[in-house]
Structures are given as structure tokens and as C-alpha cells.
Structure 1
Amino acid sequence: MDHTATTERPFEIGVRSGHGHTVVTVSGEIDVFTASRLRQVLFDPVLCSQPRVVVDLDGVTFMDSTGIGTLVAARRWLASREAEIGLVCGPGPALRLLEMVSLDKVFEIHASVTAATEGP
């Protein structure tokens, strides 16, 4: 079986900060091959220095258990630094997986980055 098709999909991470938020935008597949790159960003105290981190998963086309583990570990890490994490997931593969493993009850999930970053 040829696995090159799964690794050719573009995996990208973008980071921007401002107004008390760090927004981490992820696109492509979060799997055993790419989750370590996401982990490096989410665990970087300089890149994710704001009190609230929002992970935008709208561009994610696939996520496996490694991706789930990365998000759960990041949640614990950020909580230990008194920071919060929220996820942006519209209908799609990432949201279906989060619901399947009941993490939609653990993470704050928002429909858009705007909804996740606006004040209380």
C-alpha cells in the first residue's frame, strides 16, 4: 500500500497573537507524522504567551489519536500555566472526532475564531 498520498497533503500551522489571545491555525492532516510540529507550537511559551490560546481546526482534513493526544496534553500544559485553550471547529472531520471521543464536553468549541476571541 502506498502511503505517500497521505503525507503529500499540505500541513500548515500559523500563529498570531494580540488582545490577550494566541490563535494557532492548523490545516491539513494532524497525525503521527505532523502532531509533533503542532505540539512544538502549543508548548512554546513564547509563541503561545497570551492567557488564551485558540486552536483553529477548521482547515483540518483528518486527525488521528496522536492529534487528540496533542490537544489534551496542550490543555493540561496551558492550564498549568494558568492559560486557557479553546478550539474552533465547524462541521467536519475534526469536530466529528472530538464528539466521538466526548472531548466536545472537555474543550470549549466555537464555530469561528471571532466567537472564540470575543470578550465575555
Structure 2
Amino acid sequence: MMLKVVEAREGSWTVLHVSGELDLVSSPVVRQRVHDAVAAGDRDVVLDLSGVHFCDSSGVGVLVAARRLMRSCRGRLRLVLPAHGAEDGSHVNRVLAALGVRRLFEVYADAVAAADDEARPLSA
């Protein structure tokens, strides 16, 4: 399945809904979309990965790089990763945990919660 990135707004947050496979071929697309958001002045970005059913190490590298970019410009990056079910994006959660980087990210159940400054992140 091809990677698809759809941009939306949720309050003051830019939400990038990512679906498909986040791998060596497609991950530069996500990297570019995060860079484009920052270049446009957005400092609060949500990556909704609930539609991602496969993620390899290059995909994880893009997520870590996006976190670094957002921190360098005093922005915030939040991820949406569903907690249950292999079909709904939890694969990304398992990959991040297996590589020991899940704790680096603020993770939420959905984009609305991620864009709510009162909402608490899901525990690792």
C-alpha cells in the first residue's frame, strides 16, 4: 500500500494523518511534510500514525529526526498510536518499543486528544 499523508488542523495544531507503509521508500515523504510544516511556521505538529500498518527502522529514524527538528525550533511533536490491534497501527508502537525509543514521544489515542493541552499522553 502506498503511503498517504493528509494535512488537517486541530485547534492550533497541524495534524499529518499518515497511512500505508512507513519504510525506506516512503519515509522521506513524511520527513518533507514535517519540514514543510515547520517552514510554514507551524510549531505544534501531530503525526497521526493510526493508519500506518508497517514501519521499518528508516520510518523510526524519520520520527526521531522529526522530534529533534521540533525540539530545535522550540516546537512540539505528538504521535497518535492506537493501543490495540495489529491492523490499526499498533505495529508502530511495537517497533518503537522494541527499538527503545517509544519513551521519547508523547503518544495519544487520537488527534483530538493529541491537540488538547489538557489531555495526558498514554503511558509507554
> Aligning the two structures, in what range does the TM-score lie when normalised by the shorter sequence?
0.7 to 0.9
Contiguous gaps of at least 5 residues in structure 2: 85-89, 119-124
Q: Does 1:99 align with 2:97?
A: yes
Q: Does 1:41 align with 2:26?
A: no
Distance in 2 between residues matched to 1:83 and 1:20, nearest whole Å: 12
Specify the alignment match of 1:84 in structure 2: 76
Residues 46 and 19 of structure 1, relative CA distance in 2, 3 Å threshold: farther
Q: What is the CA-CA distance between 1:102 and the residue it aligns to?
A: 2.2
Q: In 2, distance between residues paired with 1:22 and 1:99?
A: 25
8 Å CA contact 2:79–2:105 kept in 1: the answer is yes
Measure, in 2, the Cα distance between the counterparts of 1:119 and 1:71.
21
For 1:16 and 1:82, the matched residues in 2 are separated by: 21
Aligned to 2:8: 16
- For 1:107 and 1:17, the matched residues in 2 are separated by 20
Q: Following TM superposition, where does structure 1 have runs of at least 4 consecutive aligned residues deviating by more than 4 angstroms?
A: none
Q: What's 1:57 paired with?
A: 49
Q: CA RMSD in A?
A: 1.3
Task: Give the TM-score taking structure 2 as reference length.
Answer: 0.83
Greater Rg by CA: 1
| Matched-pair contact (CA < 8 Å) for 1:58–1:88 | yes
Q: Across the two proteins, how many residue pairs are aligned to each other? A: 111
Q: Offset of 1:19 from its aligned partner?
A: 2.3
**In structure 2, distance between residues paired with 1:52 and 1:31:** 24
| C-alpha spacing 1:46/1:18, structure 2 compared with 1 (3 Å) | farther
The alpha-carbon deviation at position 78 of structure 1 amounts to: 1.0
- Give distance in 2, aligned partners of 1:17 and 1:116: 12
Does residue 114 of structure 1 match 2:112?
Answer: yes
Alpha-carbon distance between aligned partners in 2 of 1:17 and 1:113, rounded to the nearest angstrom: 10
Contact 2:10–2:112 (Cα < 8 Å) also in 1: no
